[in-house]
Amino acid sequence: MLTTSEFKRAEFSFKTSSGVQKVPVDFNPATLEYAITVNTQGEGGQAQQTASSSSAKLNFELIFDSTDTGDDVRGKTNKVERMLQTSPGEGPNPPPQVLSEVTFEWGAFKFIGVVDSYKQTMDFFSENGVPLRATVTLSMSQPKYKFDQAAGATKAKTDQPFVLPGGDPSTLAAEGGDPS
């Protein structure tokens, strides 16, 4: 059985002027959509192409909920939204503002890039109109992707069997009796 200390909650981390900011999620994502694009470049109209660069993209949804406290859920989602703020350049001739580099980490999965798309849908409200639940759809990109040869080296912990309360599915069905 899974214990609380083994449960891993996904989190973001990014640098701000006051140091590294960590943002935990309320619920881990159900799916992660991960895509790699190789940009090709033909030479002199030839059919043969060479890879000039590659980029990676990560899309997912997160659910934030504050129904237990009654607080406005935007207090949580605003922390995620802050990852889109740009950093001012430094020096006498500062470069244009740049997006913060963000790390999304969940167990063995780690993605480092920038958040380039944020969409928030508030879908549950208190009787007086306070938003209590929101779904945040994020898209992150990694412009200069390097293929990770170490991926897949981590194994899931499977030394303890998963036990359903009340027994295995066959026993539970038998105890339920004839449904007709």
Tens digits of per-residue pLDDT, 22-49? Answer: 999 999 999 999 999 887 765 555 555 5
Tens digits of per-residue pLDDT, 132-154? Answer: 999 999 999 998 877 665 555 56
Strand 102-106 to 131-142 pairing: unpaired
Confidence of residue 102 (pLDDT cuts 50, 70, 90): very high
C-alpha of 102 from chain center: 11
Q: CA-based Rg of the chain, rounded to a whole angstrom? A: 22
pTM above 0.85, yes or no: no
